[in-house]
Amino acid sequence: MKRRAPATAAARTTAAKLTEDLVAANRILAEHGVVDGYGHVSVRHERDPNRYRLSRSLAPELVAASDIMEYDLDSNPLDATGRAMYLERFIHGEIYRVRPDVTAIVHHHSPAVIPFAATTAPLRPLYHMSAFVGEGVPVFEIRAAAGMTDMLIRDAALGRALARTLGQHPAALMRGHGAVVVGADLPLAVGRSIYLELNARLQVQTIALGGDVTYLDPEEVSKVVAVQDYARAWELWKRKALAK
Ligand SMILES: [Zn+2]
């Protein structure tokens, strides 16, 4: 392994803030029921785009700064020190490899989205908080990639197949499993994960009411997506998460 140049004080501050944000992201997702004992969230390294940070194998609600590990894009650990790793870490490495615009990734089994990966009824953008859904949320069919499996993204080939299905979209559903959500930063990836779950729930409620459903128009979608950063919500979520 190559040695890095010593980090400056400013770089150490940035790294500490990103680690703090990543810890907060884990707890926020748990607080909102997007993850439970399972699921994970990562952030790309602030100085080396070929690395990312992700907790050791642990329930997200329990994650602290000392649990955060670094990985290369092959999802090999750089500082394992005997710590157990998430089996599905390849989701993160393979998406970071092909999506330079992505800095944060959430993988979850958020309950309300599961039905939309199991039927041909598409998830559609029901309201402004989840307008990004209108950019398309493809469904990953693991059978098409690897036949009969235990459903888990347990190697790089499956991670690459999932990344291919995701393409340039903000999220992809995983049939019989969950979803992956990406963003240019942690607030965006976390906010999208929370509102993806809400959109799914609200869409089912709306359809159950009967009548014709009006979804966001593509033009409305692009106008909302251009300005949506979940920044105000993130400030609240983070403060509550770190106060515990
Ligand atoms: Zn999973």
pLDDT, tens digit, for every residue of 65-115?
999 999 999 999 999 899 999 999 999 999 999 999 999 999 999 999 999
Q: Bridge partners of 173?
A: 139, 179
CA of 150 relative to ligand 1 center, distance in Å: 11
Per-residue pLDDT, 5: 59
Query: What pLDDT was estimated at residue 64?
Result: 97
Q: Ligand 1 center to residue 120 CA distance, Å?
A: 21
Residue 12 has pLDDT above 90, yes or no: no
CA of 109 to the centre of ligand 1 (A): 6
User: What are the pLDDT digits (tens) for 43-67?
Assistant: 999 999 999 999 999 999 999 999 9
7 CA to middle of ligand 1, Å? 34
| DSSP for the chain, written as a single string | -PPPPPPPHHHHHHHHHHHHHHHHHHHHHHHTTS-SSS-EEEEE-SS-TTEEEEE-SS-GGG--GGGEEEEETT--BSS-TT----GGGHHHHHHHHH-TT--EEEEE--GGGHHHHHSSSPP---SGGGGGGGG---EE-HHHHHSS--S---SHHHHHHHHHHHTTSSEEEETTTEEEEEESSHHHHHHHHHHHHHHHHHHHHHHHH-S---PPPHHHHHHHHTT---HHHHHHHHHHHHH-
On average, the pLDDT of the chain sits at: 96
How far apart (Å, rounded) are the C-alpha atoms in residues 197 and 79? Answer: 33
Q: Cα(234) to centroid of ligand 1, in Å? A: 24
Q: How far is the CA of 79 from the centre of ligand 1 (A)?
A: 23
Tell me, in angstroms, the distance from the centre of ligand 1 to residue 67's CA: 19
φ, ψ of residue 146 to 5 degrees: the values are -150, 15
pTM: 0.95
Question: Catalytic: 46?
Answer: no
pLDDT at position 3 is 56
CA of residue 66 to ligand 1 center, whole Å: 23
* Distant-in-sequence, close-in-space partners of 136: CB < 8 Å, separation ≥ 6: 169
Catalytic residue among 31, 46, 70, 88: 88
CA 104/CA 119 separation, integer angstroms: 28
